[in-house]
Amino acid sequence: MYRIDRDVLENKMNLTLMPQDKAVISLKGNELTEPAAMRKFLAAYAVHIHALDDTVAAAYFSSWFGDVVSALQYAVSIHDTALDLSLSNLTVHLIPEEGYTRLAFQLSSRQENWAPEEERSEWRRAVFTSFYQYTARPLMDCLAAVSGLPIGQAWGQLPDSLVNGMDRLASEPLSESVSKQVAEDYLYLQKGLEGELFGLSRNPFDKKERWIEDPRDAAKQLRMKSTCCLHYKRENRTYCYTCPRMKEADRLLWLEKLRSKKENGGQ
């Protein structure tokens, strides 16, 4: 018996139980902690996204890995269960699609470790600690080492991906008690885990959110990214509007340009 619906895993969490026939390269998670294998994967990824160097592929890899982070948070908070997200149970697939390239994460076996009726906080601590120490950190360390992407920037992609995942959860009808648990688990991730667990001086999820005007609707705001995703280092690309590296004067010019385009019917 499983608590998480398979369709939810595949369609919202980007976790599949099936091999991916369209993948151009597939490697097990524990293989990707080996420099040669990670270098091979990033080189293939860089070609498909027209990256100017492997740091771009590394940043994008980390951003996609945020789906696995979101899946962990979703399972723990919504269903009181934890999936087996060990490196030996994960396979990463590089899949070209029409107009973009994506990563998909396959579980070799689907196992769920249910929360006990008592001492849930201790169970949560063990689940989060195990994932970040034995799955996420070896991948991030290898990713940074072989690509040259600063380790803080590699980890910095994950909070934004998780926030997007949390936003997907917010669209689900949740009871008051479950909503409270979601908030408490997210706060624990931010404040309850020390930076040394990630190999950093501080927890990368413990960040202050910054907001900027949504160019599509002046009454709304967008979250600024935690760190640059290096989108500008792809062929014929520029900084993202939400990039923290963009100068405010340039962002204002971009905002005015987007407003003008909208007022003129997108022309």
**Domain residue ranges of the chain, discontinuous segments joined by +:** 6-198, 211-263
Average pLDDT taken over every residue of the chain: 93
Q: What is the mean pLDDT of residues 58-75?
A: 96
pLDDT of residue 126: 98
Predicted local confidence at residue 215, as pLDDT: 85
Instruction: Tell me the DSSP string of 50-100.
Output: TBSSHHHHHHHHHHHHHHHHHHHHHHHHHHSEEE---GGGEEEEEEEETTE
pLDDT digits (tens, 9 = 90+) for 96-110: 999 999 999 999 999
* Residue 11 in this model has a pLDDT that exceeds 90: no
Question: Considering only CA atoms, which of 71, 234, 66 is closest in space to residue 157?
Answer: 66
Higher pLDDT, 12 or 43: 43
131 within 8 A of 198, measured Cβ to Cβ: no
- For residue 155, the tally of other CB atoms under 10 A from its CB is 26
pLDDT of 1 > 80? The answer is: no
Strand positions, DSSP E, the chain: 15-16, 25-28, 81-83, 90-97, 100-107, 112-114, 211-214, 217-223
Confidence band for 168, pLDDT divided at 50, 70 and 90:
confident
pLDDT of residue 40: 98
Q: What integer is the mean pLDDT of 34-44?
A: 98
Total residue count of the chain as it appears in this document: 267
Strands 15-16 and 100-107: parallel
pLDDT at 265: 61
Task: Name the CATH architecture for the domain at 6-198.
Answer: Orthogonal Bundle (1.10)
Which residue did the predictor score with more confidence, 127 or 248? 127
The pLDDT of residue 169: 67
The distance of Cα 39 from the centroid of its chain, to the nearest Å, equals 20
